[in-house]
Structure 1
Amino acid sequence: MVVGLGNPGKKYERTRHNVGFDVLSELAGWHNISSFKSQFEAELGEFSFADDKVLLVAPQTFMNLSGRCVAALVKFFKLPSTDLMVVCDDMNLPVGRLRMRGAGSAGGQKGLQNIIQSLNTQDIPRLRIGVGRPPAGFSGADYVLGRFSPNESELITQAVHSAASGIECWVQNGLEIAMNQVNSPES
């Protein structure tokens, strides 16, 4: 199960906070998913890859309540948390930098924190996409709800592509190999 974090609605499309949704859209395009169905307070898409079924999940709660739908889906499908990959933005990484990990704290990402609390474990694989730090005078909330500059957009387009490729690697080869593919030497 791949959970892309973001906020629902046109108002939030292509914002820094919605890069998780952008990765789901990339994967949906690659695997010819033309429509998502609404269930469990989420938009769900499904495809087969490397002899596995992959469920794409775009929570339709706001970011800070993402754990509610993720916990319901994990329970319904009886999934271990290690079969879950959360894709989210990260202000602590430079724009476009990717970092995949198998466990750890939320690092200030409130959607991921809500999922950790809802599942009562930090052992949740996650793929963070760097959106950079806000400039002086901007709050973190205003910054992540803003759109990328033209220069940043180029970096994010490549990062979204690389993230989707990394998720396919995770499905096919497991976390360690995917981490080696995704994480840059500077990580």
Structure 2
Amino acid sequence: MRLFVGLGNPGAKYEKNRHNIGFMALDRIASDHGFPPWRAKFQGQVSEGRLGRDKVILLKPGTFMNLSGQSVGEAMRFYKLTPADVVVFHDELDLAPGKVRVKSGGGHAGHNGLRSIHQHIGAEYDRVRLGIGHPGHKDRVSGYVLSDFAKAEQDWLDDVLRGCSDGAAALADGDAARFSNAVALRTAPPRPSTGTKPAKTAAPETPEAPKDDPRTPLQKLADRFR
């Protein structure tokens, strides 16, 4: 059994914020894989279903980002899971928009949601880092993550969410490489062949046919004896 956690803030005000990309990823997984409607539990919203051969609990903490660990810890204890069974989807400032990386353990890098989870269950859980880019200066970070994705970002955002859904069963099975490949097929698909035909080589020139000899028969005979 795996616990997939999406980080974000509850309520319509924050629904389309960059900080809520973790919620968005879980919503796409739930929709694409036929999970039942969300229900209130563990201080958040929960949906239980299967991804491939694995049972998976999807959890969107309703405690606001800074207290996400309370909800995650409660769910983990209820299902008797270990931190290694937990996968957290979250926004990542240190990755370019559209980039996705899977990481196991490590620090929280100042992310308030991860910091809270560290406090409640430790650091040995998996993370899916969903790149949103950096605003350029630390003083602008708060306003940036709490602002909505721009219209110009919708294409790459949709590719990322679809990729996460495509690879969700592999991730539940512990296959991070196959998950990453599924995401890459959406965000950076192989370039199609151009179909350019090789240039034709010039046909070899045929030697010119010999021209008629303008000499008279008498001149030809004389030339033979010179």
With the length of structure 1 as denominator, give the TM-score of the two structures. 0.90
> What amino acid does structure 1 have at the position aligned with 2:141?
G
Cross-structure match for 1:26: 28
Matches within 5 A, 1:152-167: 152-167=153-168
Taking the aligned partners of 1:157 and 1:180, their CA distance within structure 2 comes to: 16
Taking the aligned partners of 1:102 and 1:168, their CA distance within structure 2 comes to: 18
- What are the ranges of 5 or more consecutive residues in structure 1 without an aligned counterpart? none
Deviations 1:152-187 (A, max 9, x none): 221111111112233321113x14434653687xxx
Q: Point out 4+ residue stretches in structure 1 off by more than 4 angstroms.
A: 135-138
1:136 Cα shift?
5.5
Which of 87, 90, 98 is 2:100 aligned to? 98
Taking the aligned partners of 1:178 and 1:138, their CA distance within structure 2 comes to: 37
Kindly tell me the number of residue pairs found equivalent between the two proteins: 182
1:132 Cα shift?
0.7
Q: Is the 8 A contact 2:100 2:129 kept in 1?
A: yes
SS in 2 for 1:113: helix
> What amino acid does structure 2 have at the position aligned with 1:43?
Q
Cross-structure match for 2:16: 14
Identify if the C-alpha distance between structure 1 residues 102 and 175 changes in structure 2 by more than 3 Å, giving closer, same or farther: farther
Deviations 1:66-87 (A, max 9, x none): 0001001111111011111000
1:44 Cα shift?
0.2
Cross-structure match for 1:61: 63
SS in 2 for 1:54: strand
Residue 149 of structure 2 corresponds to residue 148 of structure 1: yes
Taking the aligned partners of 2:115 and 2:137, their CA distance within structure 1 comes to: 25
- What are the ranges of 5 or more consecutive residues in structure 2 without an aligned counterpart? 185-226
- Over alpha carbons, which structure has the higher Rg? 2
* RCO higher in structure (CA 8 A, sep ≥6): 1
Taking the aligned partners of 1:18 and 1:46, their CA distance within structure 2 comes to: 20
Q: Is the 8 A contact 1:2 1:85 kept in 2?
A: yes
Deviations 1:125-169 (A, max 9, x none): 000101111155962111001011222221111111112233321
Taking the aligned partners of 1:55 and 1:137, their CA distance within structure 2 comes to: 35
Taking the aligned partners of 1:96 and 1:49, their CA distance within structure 2 comes to: 24
SS in 2 for 1:55: strand
Q: Percent identity?
A: 33
SS in 1 for 2:77: helix
